[in-house]
Amino acid sequence: MIFLRLLTIETRKTLKHPALWIGLGALVFLLGLFMLTNHIQIARGYQSASGGLEQDLLRGLAFYDWISVLVYAVTASVIAAFDYPDRSIQLWLTRGVARPILLFARLTIILFFGLMIICVAVAAILGFGTLSRMLFFGVVNASNLNLPALLPVILRVFWGAVPYFALTVLLAVVSRSPLFAAGGTIVYGSVFEVYVTRLSSRFPTVVRYLPASLSQALQTHNTSLDRAAPPLPLDAAIITEPRAILLIGLLFLLLSMASLVIFSRQDLGG
């Protein structure tokens, strides 16, 4: 039962952490600003007015994907490394909590809050899209929005985020610093992956198996949100959806196992 108790305590700590609410507020603000700007451009004729709420959701998800690494890095680093600097993590270990159980509990909480943040992002996009369309166009066109596809889309976005959560946990364990963990993941996702992707002609195999590429392979299928969208061709993504799901799971396991090995042997005394 120690695991369930840890989950409860870690959840309570996370909910009390101001970084969670500041980050959520900033995310919702950015999504609202994006939707408002997008509809202003449509109203003034700078963008195509085709589509309705389903296109707002697809555009909003594309914008979220652009800033998502920052969201994932901050979320995971706050949970995984917030008690390293003041050494309060030692309190758990001196009370007899096994290191694997503590790490597994934190990974579970990170995945849970990561999924909740994605749900909030999707709800914010839909909410702002509806309000903004009422404001600028006086009507909300949702006839082509495929609501049954919403849950699979959320799960695709979440599964694409899993490697970044695991990477942040690994960096948190190695560095014992939430700032280094978050910064390392942001640099990896925003600099390294972008740079390597530009070299796709030279390293096609490497690019194919990057977390960003695997996530993109999943989110290519998000067009199912639009009932009017034509069926995707078989070669629409660089890798099939089942294979991308499997590879992301393997990446998560490898990174998590590396975190466990290092954490289990880490000297936290002194």
Return the C-alpha torsion angle 262, 243, 194, 62, nearest 10: -110
Nearest of 248, 113, 239, 88 to residue 167 by alpha carbon: 248
Percent of the chain with pLDDT over 90: 53
Taking the C-alpha atoms of residue 190 and residue 58, their distance in angstroms, rounded to an integer, is 21
Instruction: For the chain, give every domain's residue range.
Output: 2-264
Percent of the chain with pLDDT over 70: 92
Taking the C-alpha atoms of residue 226 and residue 215, their distance in angstroms, rounded to an integer, is 20
Q: What is the mean pLDDT of residues 128-156?
A: 90
Reply yes or no on whether the pLDDT at 255 is more than 70: yes
Q: How confident is the model at residue 261 (pLDDT cuts 50, 70, 90)?
A: very high
Reply yes or no on whether the pLDDT at 231 is more than 90: no
H helix or E strand, kind and range, residue 7? helix 2-16
Express each pLDDT in 165-178 by its tens digit: 999 999 999 988 88
Reply yes or no on whether the pLDDT at 31 is more than 90: yes
Mean pLDDT of all residues belonging to the chain: 88
Least confident range of 87-101, 121-135, 207-221: 87-101
**pLDDT score recorded for residue 86:** 62
Q: Name the β-bridge partners of 145.
A: 226
